[in-house]
Amino acid sequence: MAIDQGLLTVDGTKHSANGSIGTNGTEDDVIGGDGMYFLTESAKTSSEDGIRALWKYEKPGVVSFVGCLAGRPNSDSFPFESITLNLKPPLGSTSTSTQNLSLNGADLADALQYGPSGGLPKLRSLLYQLQQEVHHREDDGTWGTTVGAGCQNLLNAAVDALMNEGDSILIETPVYPGILAPLRKKNAEMIEVDVDEGGLSPAALEQVMSSLTPDQKRPKLLYVNPIGCNPSGCSHSLERRLEVLKLCKKYGLLILEDDPYYYLAETTIPSYFELEKRVFPQGGRVVRFDSFSKLLSAGLRLGFATGPGNILRAIDTINSGTILHASTVSQGITYCLLEHWGLDGFRNHAHHVAELYARRRETFETIVKKHLSGLATWVSPVAGMFLWMDLSPSGIEDSFDFVLNAAKVHGVLGVPGASFYPNKRISSYMRLSFSVIDLDTDAEEGIARFAAAIKDKQKELGIKVAP
């Protein structure tokens, strides 16, 4: 991102700082397609500190003292000669042989130094290509990618860039609880839109928006977790996504598409980012968040955001003053792996990861059906790691009380549904994860304990216990 005489330059396109679209725009409306409309005034005018802003001018032939001013350590002091990665045999492969990769030379040098706030250029370029292929987007200058320390970091920065103190936001509920902390920090008014088995309901969204009173702040953001939602496991259908996008056009909304389970779906549904151009030819109405945590390693703490360049610039600026940048070692390792695999290899790996979780879900559900049929209900998720279990068929309406008392006594724990609502409402739901539990031993024992705990709770409530 460059600053040029009051104009913001993104991918070669200049945009006015007041939020109106520049000469390259395709739709002359108040919102435009460059994302500026949605940024806070502070985010519109902020920029990286002067030192980091100079880094982009460091090119071959330029004698630069910027690195010294920025505090880059002399690499001769680093004790690392190379980093060797020993890869497991690919998922789904019959091979037992491992592969060795090395991070060295210029790539290692980049991985061991301070880097750009938006991520190492080689990795960003590769991720841009990935998004082009996966989400069928053209290289038209209307969008970009940036790298952060996991989706959580990027979501926090996005909230800072897009929300003023006390602003309102639409959130599907139940909701991923990680989004609640940054929203509470902003004292945000969280307007809940309940999901059903098919995910976010356009009818429910329309009802909520049309019911806002004149004294309420009108939201400009809609937060969704559209595939294998944490915690409900539900996924938005193609039809619903298109209807939601049309409602975003009607009500002037920007979608925050938090999609860490996208690659865990057996059958992919076009993302909001992919579908955006059908409703908004100029783009600029979806910011997408992807994660490597479920595919490569949660400990890498690496995610990436995709969307309008101005919004990504604001995210980068916020990160430059907080975390500085995501770990360049993590970025270097990830780039080394993706370059070795190629994008097709990455997608093949993701496909086998989805199959792994599908097999675990099927085994887990078989165990749950054996012990909890008639005591609880749930919807089988098409992606993700969770069963969202309704205990109301057993007469249990408060899962928080159930987990902390009856279940705890029996030596088993789940996550009460109240944890996934901003108002901590009483909920009959409980989230169970099947991602890492031993399906041969602990799962069977744990679900049997839940069944016993439910029956004990029924006795306490005076409900007839089924044999």
Residue 140 forms beta bridges with which residues?
none
DSSP 376: B
Task: Please report, as a single letter, which amino acid is at residue 111.
Answer: A
Residue 7 forms beta bridges with which residues?
4, 16
Residue 430 forms beta bridges with which residues?
389, 416
Cβ atoms of 320 and 153 closer than 8 Å: no
Q: What is the pLDDT of residue 385?
A: 96
Instruction: Report pLDDT digits (tens) over 404-414.
Output: 999 999 999 99
Cβ atoms of 301 and 149 closer than 8 Å: yes
For the chain, the structural domain boundaries read 44-57+67-346, 359-461
Q: Which residues contact 230 (CB under 8 A, 6 or more apart)?
A: 176, 260, 261, 384, 385, 386
Do you find a cis peptide bond into 270, omega within 30 degrees of 0? no
Diameter of the chain measured on Cα atoms: 83
Q: Strands 254-258 and 189-196: what pairing?
A: unpaired
Cβ atoms of 371 and 432 closer than 8 Å: no
Q: What is the pLDDT of residue 13?
A: 38
- For the domain bounded by 44-57+67-346, which CATH number is listed? 3.40.640.10
d(CA 396, CA 457): 8
Cα separation values, 145 from 76, 199, 316, Å: 32, 27, 11
Cα separation values, 1 from 149, 184, 344, 391, Å: 20, 30, 30, 51
List, for the chain, all residue ranges whose pLDDT scores fall below the cut of 50: 1-28
Q: What is the pLDDT of residue 96?
A: 76
d(CA 104, CA 84): 9
Q: What is the pLDDT of residue 445?
A: 98
In terms of residues, how long is the chain? Answer: 467
Q: What is the pLDDT of residue 340?
A: 95
Could you give phi then psi for residue 122, rounded to 5 degrees? Answer: -60, -40
**Backbone angle region of 374, left / alpha / beta, with phi > 0 → left and psi within -120 to 50 → alpha:** left
What fold characterizes domain 359-461? Aspartate Aminotransferase, domain 1 (3.90.1150)
Q: What is the pLDDT of residue 466?
A: 75
Q: What is the pLDDT of residue 14?
A: 38
Q: What is the pLDDT of residue 144?
A: 97
